[in-house]
Chain A
Amino acid sequence: MARHVVATAGEIPVGGKKVVNPAGREICVFNVNGEHYALINRCPHEGAALSYGPVVGCFESKRPGEYALTRHGEMLRCPWHGWEFDIKTGQSWCHPESVKARTYKVEVVAGSHLAKGPFVAETVQVTVDGEYIVVEV
């Protein structure tokens, strides 16, 4: 496991996403309401690049005729077959236990802190004043 600097802290706006390639692994980093999450950029159903899918909420219904849009911006819909995934856990809505997109640990780390520990910055210029998004792969 190594920690990779993949973006600056403000780079991905709320609701946005960025495809990164730490250690040759294609990963999509999301900003969900200010918190960052990372999923492998590959749908566990048939392999589509998840980054092309829209970030959506969750439509729920207790009974026919009653509908609620919940969990705004927390779900991702696959760009091919529309499977819905919880961005925070990678779990699919229909088979949360068996069909999951792999998740990666993401942190926002101060540049001054990064300068002390082992990390890999492949494409991001790091300064001690900045804050950075770090993915553990």
Chain B
Amino acid sequence: MSATAQSPKVQTNDPAILGFVDCDVHPYTKSPADLDAFLPKRWRELRQTIGARSRSPFVAAPNYPRMSPGTGMRMDAWPEDGGHPGSNLNMMREQLLDAFDVSFGMMMPLLGRGGDSRDVEFGAALCTAANEWEAQTWCDPEPRLKAAVQITTEYTEAAIKEIELRAGDRRFTHVMIPPRGLEPLGRRRYWKILEACAANNFPIALHLGGTSGHASTGGGWPSFYHEEHPSYPQSKEALVTSLVTEGVFEHIPNLRVALVEGGFAWLPSLSWRLDKHYKRLRAEVPHLKMLPSEYIRRNIWVTTQPMEEPEQPDDILATCEWIGWDRIMFSTDYPHWDQDDPRYALKVRIPEKEKRMLFRENALSFYNLTV
């Protein structure tokens, strides 16, 4: 006998949690063919006959197998009428949006994967299709869901065109760039895209992902998922370092960047190390007018999932102080296996003011959201 379908009842009267802004929600298609309706005929035929070609050795699988089916899904998130977790709006409402009276869900779609395509023309078409699919399938029936502008950073003109196309459309609130690209994001070749994000008042969400073909850790390919998962912060550390030292934040002071799904406890130690080296190696990077930590403090935000779980739960408070409470935003990562529940993810009591900032106020301001 199988377990009967019963979603856990949400029991919370915590006003800081009810109405929170979820900074990482994943919508999925029921089938890859769902994007066909938004692809021009040429690309629809190419998808059906040749298919996508990424820079990874795997066409239809992640770099490392996950622990649960469907590239690592919450096992109670499979819709009863079939389809993939995250593909059924009613179920998403029941398990997340209505359950917590979520004010806004920031979508980070991991499909289409236009940014991974070696054929950049096809990649750009996939991005446009996925963006249109997000807006029509999710934002129109559920305005609490906010869409990401997916782009391919390897085709500058198309990326800028897509950013400009979505600017002013309030369904779109952020540009999404996968951290694992061909080169570190601070390189000059990406500056025009970054400039376009800032010029159009889009913050950038760097959500874990991207198949560059490089090994996922700095030391080579991992053997275990247990080894792969901690590589997420590594890719974020490389990007933050690149953005700071290349001078991106000196060149575009109003660029706002959120690091999504890479944890956050590593950020203070990276800041300390960058500052230490600045005192020794400043002459190499004279274009930096502030300490690296000051650029980080001004331009970088973090999201919480996968939540740090220190042995002494109180240590999380010091970590958040070091980063700055105004720079930390709560995220669930629904419907993935490693998602966090807003009621239980933090194992320590957070002061009320900081809790409101973490669950709601920081994200409203970062994403220019009005309730």
Q: A-side interface residues toward B, CB under 8 Å?
A: 11-13, 16-19, 26, 28, 41-42, 45-49, 51-54, 79-82
CB within 8 A of B68: which of A16, A26, A49, A82?
A: A82
Contact indicator B3/A42 (Cβ below 8 Å): no
Contact for A13 among B1, B67, B341, CB less than 8 A: B1
Q: What chain B residues lie within 8 Å of A41 (beta carbons)?
A: 6
The residue from A17, A18, A26, A46 contacting B340, defined by CB atoms under 8 A apart = A46
Known contacts A79-B74, A79-B75; decide if A19 and B4 are in contact (CB<8 Å).
yes
The reply to whether the CB of B155 lies closer than 8 angstroms to some CB of chain A is: no
Q: Is the CB of B344 within 8 A of A45?
A: yes
Q: What is the CA–CA distance of A73 and B192 in the complex, to the nearest angstrom?
A: 57
Picked from A11, A12, A26, A46, the residue with its CB within 8 Å of the CB of B6 is: A26
**A-binding residues in B (CB < 8 A):** 1-4, 6-8, 67-68, 74-76, 337-341, 343-345
Inside 8 A of B76's CB, which chain A residues have their CB? 48-49, 52, 79-80
Judging by beta carbons under 8 Å apart, are A49 and B67 in contact?
Answer: no
User: Which A residue's beta carbon lies closest to that of B342?
Assistant: A46
Task: Write the chain B residue with the least CB distance to A51.
Answer: B3
Does the CB pair B3–A17 fall under 8 Å?
Answer: yes
20 contacts between A and B (CB under 8 A): A11-B1, A13-B1, A18-B4, A19-B4, A19-B6, A41-B6, A45-B344, A46-B340, A47-B343, A48-B76, A49-B3, A49-B6, A49-B8, A51-B4, A52-B3, A79-B74, A79-B75, A80-B76, A81-B337, A82-B337
Kindly list chain B residues whose C-beta atoms are within 8 Å of the C-beta of A42: 8
B338 CB contacts on chain A under 8 angstroms: 80-81
- Residues of A near B68 (CB, < 8 A) are 79, 82
Q: Which residues of A have CB within 8 Å of B8?
A: 42, 47-49
Inter-chain residue pair count (beta carbon < 8 A) = 60
- Complexed CA–CA distance, A50 and B151 (Å): 39
A17-B1 CB under 8 A given contacts A48-B8, A49-B7, A80-B339: yes
Closest to A13 in B: B1
Residue of B nearest to A49 (CB): B8
Q: A46-B341, A80-B76 are in contact. List 20 more A-B contacts (CB 8 A).
A: A11-B1, A16-B2, A17-B3, A18-B4, A19-B4, A41-B6, A46-B344, A47-B8, A47-B341, A49-B3, A49-B7, A49-B76, A52-B75, A52-B76, A79-B68, A79-B74, A80-B74, A80-B75, A80-B337, A80-B338
CA distance A54 to B3 in the complex (A): 10
B8 nearest in chain A by CB position? A49
Residues of B within 8 A of A16 (CB): 1-2
| A63 smallest CB distance to B (angstroms) | 17
A54 to B67, CA, bound (A): 12
Contacts of B343 in A (CB 8 A): 47
Chain A residue nearest to B3 in the complex (CB): A51
Residues of chain B with a CB closer than 8 A to A18's CB: 1, 3-4
B344 pairs with A47, CB closer than 8 A: yes
Neighbouring B residues of A11 by C-beta, 8 Å = 1
Which of A13, A28, A47, A53 contacts B75 (CB under 8 A)?
A53
